[in-house]
Structure 1
C-alpha cells in the first residue's frame, strides 16, 4: 500500500492536479508517471481516463450532484499528487520540479498549498476527522484487500476543495455554530443536534453498508479565500458517495448545515495503486493486454 495514507496529517502539504495532454496516449502518460521518483511520504492517484479498458482496478469519474439549493461539482482530472512535509518551502520547490518533470505528458491544472491547523482542526476551529477508524479498521476502510489481481493494497480517494465563508460563519452564536457541526467546540462532544448538523448527516454507521472512510483533510488559504481540502480514502468510492448524497439532501431533502457557510468547488476520484520498494505496482492495470 502507499503507506503515507495511514500517516497522520503532515504540517504542510501541496496538492497537484494534472490532465493528460491531448496528443499523449494513455500508455505514454502512465510511463511518465512510472518514471517519477515519488518519495514514500507522498501519495499519488490516477483518474479513470488513464485506466485502460482492460484494467481490473476500475474507478469511475466523480459524479456531479445537485440537491435542494446546492450543487456538488465534478472537476475530474487525470492525475492527483499529494506532497507532504514539515516545511512549506521544500514542498513548493518539489512541486515545481515534479510539474516540470511531468510536463511532457501532463498539463498542471491546479496547485494548492495546505497546512495543519492546531491539533488537526478545520479553520472553523472544530476538530476534523474525529470519527476516523484506527488500526486494522483504518486499513480495512481505506485499502482494497482479498481481491487479488494485483490491486490488493490499492486505495480509492475522493478529493474536494471546499471554500469557507469564515466571515459569515463568525456572525453566528456559539450555539448556532455547534448546531451546524453537531459537536460542541468546547469539548468536541456530540449532542442532540438538529437533523441538518454535519455530524448527523455523515454518521458513518447509519448507512447500509456502513460508510467508513479514512479522512486526511487539510486547511488551505490563498489570497482572500480559504477552506478545506477534503481528502477521504476508501476501498471503493461508495462510502464517500453515500455521505455526499446525504449531505446534499438528495436522500431526504435535508441539506447539511455545512452548506450554510461553505461550498465545494472541485471534485475528483483517483485510484492510488499499491507500491513496493521498486515503486508503484501496475499489475492491476494489466498494461500488456
Structure 2
C-alpha cells in the first residue's frame, strides 16, 4: 500500500516528535485551513488526524470514528480530552520541529487554535522511561498493514487509519523504589532481557493486553514515545488500527471492566488525556480528504 500516511508504520519511532492538538474556532474558515495544512504535511514527517467534532462540523460522517470514551473502571479513570485535529510531527532536531509547529499553527488559523502541545522523544532503542522496551508485541510487515490500515470501503477511506492517543504520567520515583521482581510483575516482562514471565500475575500489563487473547483478536500498531515536562514525565501512548475497537477492548480490560482485575500499570502510572482521530490516506502525495467533502 503506497496510499497511506507512511509515518504511521515507519520504524523505529523518530528521535524527536511533537504532538499538536487543535480546537475548532471557525467552521467557515475550515476548508481553506485544511487546504493550507495539506501543503505543509506529507504524511511521513507529519501525520494528521481529524476528530469527530471537526468531521461533524463539515456535515459528514467517517464510519468508525467516534469520541474517546471517558472510561471509569475498578478504581481507575481514563479521561477523555478529545480535540478537533491532531498533528504528529517527526524529526531529529527540536528547533526544526518548533518552526514547523509554528508554520502549521499559522496555516490553521483562524479556523483552528492550538490548545495542547507535547514534545516526545525516543529513549534508548524505543524504551519507556521505566527502562522496559515498548511495543514488543507489535505486528510487522503485512501484519502491521492489516492491523493499522483500512483495507476496504469508499474512495478516500481505504488506506486510512484510526489513532488512539493517551498521555500517561508515571510515578517514576515510586516505581524505581520497588524491588526488581515487583517491577517485572507489573509489566509482565523481565527488564533485563525483555522476556515475558510465565509466572507473572494476571494483573501484569502484558497479560492484560495480550492481543491474541481477545475475540476477535485485538491487534494494533503501537508508536508510543516518552515525554518530560519539568518534573513530570511519562509516555505518550499512540496506537493505530483499522478501527478503534481493538484499542478500546484492551483499555476496558486494563480498567477492570471485563473481569474486575485492573492492569498493574495503574499502580505506577495514570492517563491524563485521551483522544481518537481519523487519519486520512494519501492521494498523489497529499492528504486525501475526499471523505470530508471539501476538496
> TM-score under structure 1 normalisation?
0.95
Q: 1:155 aligns with which of 139, 146, 161?
A: 161
- The DSSP-based 3-state class of the residue aligned with 1:35 is helix
Give the corresponding residue for 2:103. Answer: 97
Structure 2 counterpart of 1:10: 14
Q: Is the 8 A contact 1:30 1:50 kept in 2?
A: no
Find the aligned partners of 2:224 and 2:65 in 1 and give their Cα distance. Answer: 21
Q: Deviations over 1:14-72 (max 9, x none)?
A: 11001001xx11x6324312212113321000000111443344510000001111100
* Match of residue 218 from structure 2: 211
Q: 1:45 maps to which residue?
A: 49
Shift of 1:278: 4.8
Match of 1:282 in 2: 289
SS at 2:87's partner residue?
strand
Q: Is the 8 A contact 1:10 1:84 kept in 2?
A: yes
Partner of 1:126: 132
Instruction: Return closer, same or farther for 1:30/1:189 CA change in 2, 3 Å cut-off.
Output: farther
Q: 1:216 to 1:53 in 2, by over 3 A?
A: same
Deviation at 1:97, TM superposition (A): 2.1
Matched, 1:201 2:208: yes
Alignment equivalent of 2:119, drawn from 113, 130, 135: 113
Q: Secondary structure at the match of 2:8?
A: helix
TM-score, normalisation: structure 2:
0.93
Secondary structure at the aligned position of 2:217 is classed as coil
* 201-210 vs 272-281, which moves further: 272-281
In structure 2, runs of 5+ residues without a counterpart are: none
Distance 2:218 2:246 in 1: 4
Q: Cα offset for 1:218?
A: 0.4
Q: What pairs up with 1:54-65 in 2 under 5 angstroms?
A: 54-65=60-71
**2:71 aligned with 1:70:** no
Cα pair 2:5 2:281 within 8 Å, conserved: yes
Tell me which moved more, 234-243 or 148-157: 148-157
Among 227, 230, 233, the alignment partner of 2:237 is 230
Tell me, in whole angstroms, the C-alpha distance in 2 between the residues paired with 1:56 and 1:247. 27
1:221 lines up with 2:224 in the alignment: no
User: What is the aligned residue count?
Assistant: 285
Query: How many Å separate the matches in 1 of 2:221 and 2:174?
Result: 29
**Aligned alpha-carbon RMSD (Å):** 1.3
Q: Give the conservation status (yes or no) of the 8 Å contact 1:20–1:78.
A: yes
The correspondence of residues 125-144 of structure 1 with structure 2, limited to 5 A, is: 125-144=131-150
Task: Report the Cα offset of residue 287 of structure 1.
Answer: 4.3
